[in-house]
Every structure is written in structure tokens, then in C-alpha cells.
Structure 1
């Protein structure tokens, strides 16, 4: 059995593109490492944010809908995205959220403190201090050195069938079971980022896709050969994986696990510097080869935006 090292990326649906870029770059300080389009809907942006390199395990990506179609949180979804911040930095992040007028709440699970808040579209995010994983070298928005978000810590999953989802996490993806606490199961992968998965044991009514919800979560795999082993295992398990497709920055297959969550298996390479140099990641619109001859038409239909520093509320 192949064993994933953790989360490759998490992709969510948001509303206004400029509002979302201001939040994830300007407030949270993440680097926009790729501005491209949705493969199936090229009139829709696909924006990737992460650390300085856009390394697997640091990536959040977004489809900005530019509409008021709000999703409904429920079963069959990643309910909360969890981001890792350096040890001793939570006081800074509480103050930063307060300065920007963002309401947050303090939570605890598995003897760890979390700060929970929502992005402008209602997407739930937790911060947790983590000693694991390298510090992010990307600095933006006035966030001091040593305080920047490292990347993904993990996720909290909402399932329609938690027992079946737990089986997939262990028997298909190879995560280690850590323990149970107050209606949650915890699993862990081997990597230092994107490695902690909490599963809500309550079987929830199915959610509805839209702004403020996660579209899918991608798991890491080393290369296409290892990816094909997952494909074979998923077929045997009856989960009907999609064919492997080339997404320019990684190779991808999708499957929906029995609890309703859409998972992806993505290769670590070739990476986001596949079509532009590391120093200018995210600066220009990069299109899949199949859409390059439509660049002018596509660019005209996409709403322009800027990556810019934003000022705290009242300043």
C-alpha cells in the first residue's frame, strides 16, 4: 500500500477575487504563487497561495465565483482548514486579526490551542502553533520575520459517514490513528506540514457547494508511478477514481470517498516554477497550453485584481 506523506493542497470556493486576494495575501501574508484558470471553466480564475516556493503542504487555492452563491457547510466537506504558525506567535496573530476587524474565537482540541475565524466568504480557518515544518521565508503585509504562516497544519473533516471516511484515511491513504477526543478522531501523516487530520464523528447532512466551502483536498504522492498504485487501489475499493490528468504543476486524479468528501491525489512535481521563474511566481496570468490560443478572450473575461498591502481597520 502506498502511504501519503500528507496534504498537497486544499482548494476552496470564494466570492470576490480582489476581496479574497486582499485577505489571503494582504492580511494572512501568503504568497500568490500562481494565477491561472480552472481547467474545466477557463473563464474562472484558479489562484494558488503558499510559502515562498509554493511547496506541497503549504498551498491553498481558490476559485473566485464573482457571484453571491453561498455554500452550505455540512457533511461531505472539509469543514475547517487549519494553518500552522510558528511557536510563540499566536499572540501576534490574535492582535493582527483584531487590528483588521476580524472576529475570532479560541478553541482547544487534543491539548492544542486554536484560533478560529472566517474569510470574507465565510470559509472557516483555524490557526495552530506548530514546531513542525520549516519557517516561511516569504514576507508581505508587514508581518515580521519568524511570524509568517508556515503552511497547512491539516484539516477538520465533516463526513456523511465518518466510519467509512476513517477507513479510507487509514486503509487507502495510510494515515496513522492517533486517538479520540470529544467526538473527534485524529489521524496523522509523516510529513511536517499538512499532516494532522481531525474527523468529526457526527454524521452530518450533506453540505452544498458554493462560496465559503472547500471544493476538494489533495493528498501528496511522490510521482506518477506511486499515483497509479493509488488508482489501482481505489478501483479495487470501488471508489471509481478519475483518469490521471496533467495539471501543468502536478498530475492529478480525483475520487469521492464514501463519506462524500472529494479527494484528489496529486504528485509533488513538477511544481509551480514549471512555467515561470521562482522570483516572479504569480505575477502573470499563466494558461494551460490548450487555452493559450484563447488568451486574449479569456483575459478580457477575467476580473482584474492586484496583490497589495492592505491597512488595518481604522488606520
Structure 2
């Protein structure tokens, strides 16, 4: 395989009410809203990007939140769990914090020398916090509600649920350049490069599970990193040459994207690391204002009128009292 991703770029999910979504990810999980924009393919809904201070690739969970979206069904052909990386020995703090916030959480479990805490967001999206024994050097977004010593460092991994693993494994290794790293019963882990937080995917084989339905509370797609546009374009040619149905290169303003499905059904994306989220607003002001791409700017008034108002922290650094 001539091309190898360095890890996860972002995960995009479907949400329900946008205000409830923002409250949970900003105030409960302590992430930063690094971009408030719209779904470029359906500008009647927001596209909200949550991540670290600057929205670096590998820290991002993004949402298309529709207030009246029906609930999805978690099952095969989907990314069924999105996991964040947190420091070792912080899961006790997180369990207490989430419970105080009214979130139902699991007991802490251990697998592959990692400790994990699982829960769901208000729309039912399956999430996990994972403490990796070797730590995570990425800097957190430090907020009053979630201090830096416990804060999320970025994405840890995603779990793909499939009815059989062989074809999906082939796409991960031959299409994305990942390598098989471990197996725990019906769970197979693949890693980019040296692995570690932000560079892993688990393939969970559940042949008797129902097929998933993408709607509120489910993942829409999983994006993997490409260093630049030239690599992405060559990668696209490589995939199409292998018979994979790949979209044209799409301008997402903050990165360029191509999309395709792995054989198990999950929609995947290859996204460029550049140009990033500070191309249209300063770092200190990320997420404060609605940003539109040039081709939608002439319709700003109409688009804004159709979007529900969002009450966001003035400095995107939430301060509340318990």
C-alpha cells in the first residue's frame, strides 16, 4: 500500500437539538467549539466542530444537529463507539463529574491495559473515555468545569461494527495503510503508524446484530488524515484503481475531503490536515460567529434566519456552577 494515514482526522455524527448538543460537549465534556458553520450540502442545519484549542486533526468530533431528527439505530455497518483519550487515573474524576451532570455511566472496565468508561450523549451516541497506560502528550483545552489535569486530549479510537471482519480488515490495511495490532475475542484492533491514542480503530464482529440506521445518535462518517492535497489526490487515484467507489475531491473550507464506504458499510473519509480552522477567524475567536464558505455567503441572511439561535459561552470557555 503506497499511502498510509497517520491517524484519525475527525468523526462526524448526527445530533438532535443543537443547543442541547452544544451544552453537552462544551459544558459537560469540556471541549472547545472551534467552528460554527453549516452543512455545506444542506445549509439548513449547523455543522458544529468540537476539539482542542485550535481544532487539530485527531481531536475533532463534529455534528450535524437537526432539532427534529428521528433517532437512529446502532448496529452493523457503522462506527458504533467514539472514544476520547484522557489521562491515566482521571476516570474516577470523570465518573463523578458525569454523574453530577446527570449522565448515566458504566463502571470502569479494563481491556488491553487500558481503562475505559462508557456513556451516551443526550441523543444516544455511544461514547467512551479511555486512559492509555503510556499517556497522551497532546495538550488539552482547559476549562473551569473540566481542568486540564483531567481534560480530554483528543480522539482515542473508533469502533466499527461489522457482520464479518475480513473485507473490512482488507480495506483498513490495504486502503488506509493500517496494521493489525491485537485481537480480543471478536474485537480486532488496527493501528496507524506506531498506534496509540488518535491512531487506532477497533473492528467489532457481531454477525447477529441488526443493521444500523444513520440518524440522530449515530455516527455519519469517520475521517482519516492525509498530510496534503497532492497526497490525497494520488490516494484517490490509487483507491479508484482498486475498484473503490470514491467521490470527487470536495472543498470543506478547512480541509479537502474524499469519501468512500468500506465493505462493511461504514462511510469513511480521507481529509487533509490543512488549511485548518484559523483561515477565517483568529485563534482566540474560534467558534464564536457563524462562518460560511464563499459560495454560501450571498445567502447568509436566509441561512441565518432558518437556523435556531445558539446560546454559547461568550469566550467559548464555559463557566457555570454545579
TM-score range, shorter chain: over 0.9
Paired residue for 1:215?
220
Report the CA distance shift for 1:68/1:246 in structure 2 as closer, same or farther (over 3 A).
closer
Counterparts of 1:243 and 1:134 in 2: how far apart (Å)? 35
SS in 2 for 1:24: helix
Which residue is equivalent to 1:7? 8
1:72 pairs with 2:46? no
User: Where do residues 151-300 of structure 1 align in structure 2 (5 Å cutoff)?
Assistant: 151-190=154-193, 193-203=197-207, 204-300=209-305
Is the aligned partner of 1:113 residue 2:115?
Answer: yes
CA shift, 1:237, in A, is 2.2
Ranges in structure 1 where 5+ consecutive residues have no aligned partner: none
Q: Which deviates the most, 165-174 or 152-161?
A: 152-161
- Give the superposed CA RMSD: 1.5
Distance 1:109 1:99 in 2: 26
1:245 and 1:68 mapped to 2: Cα distance? 25
Higher alpha-carbon deviation: 19-28 or 236-245? 236-245
The CA distance in 1 between the partners of 2:141 and 2:281, in whole Å, is: 18
Distance in 1 between residues matched to 2:210 and 2:234, nearest whole Å: 32
- Which residue pairs with 1:31 in the alignment? 32
Q: Which stretches in structure 2 are left out of the alignment for 5+ residues?
A: none
Q: How far apart, in 1, do the equivalents of 2:196 and 2:287 lie? A: 25
Task: Identify the range of structure 1 (138-147 vs 168-177) with the bigger mean alpha-carbon deviation.
Answer: 138-147
Q: TM-score, normalising length from structure 1?
A: 0.95
Inter-partner Cα distance in structure 2 for 1:56 and 1:66: 27
In the TM superposition, what are the counterparts of 1:98-137 in structure 2 within 5 Å? 98-106=99-107, 107-130=109-132, 131-137=134-140
Contact 1:27/1:141, CA 8 A, preserved across alignment: no
Query: How many Å separate the matches in 1 of 2:23 and 2:319?
Result: 7
Q: CA deviation at 1:196?
A: 1.6
Q: Distance in 1 between matches of 2:44 and 2:67?
A: 11
Please give the per-residue CA displacement for 1:34-82, whole angstroms capped at 9, x wherever unaligned. Answer: 0000011001100000000100000000000111400001111100000
Q: Specify whether residues 32 and 288 from structure 1 end up closer, same or farther in structure 2 by C-alpha distance, changes over 3 A only.
A: same
Q: What secondary structure does 1:80 align onto? A: strand
| Alignment pair present for 1:84 and 2:88 | no
Contact 2:88 2:135 in 1 (8 A): no
Relative distance call for 1:242 and 1:154 in structure 2 (3 A) is: same
In 2, are the aligned partners of 1:141 and 1:310 still within 8 Å (CA)? Answer: yes
TM-score, normalised with respect to structure 2: 0.93
Q: Is the 8 A contact 2:60 2:154 kept in 1?
A: yes
Question: Separation in 1 of the partners of 2:294 and 2:152?
Answer: 32
Q: CA deviation at 1:201?
A: 2.0
For residues 76 and 140 of structure 1, do their structure 2 counterparts lie closer, same or farther at Cα, with a shift above 3 Å needed? same
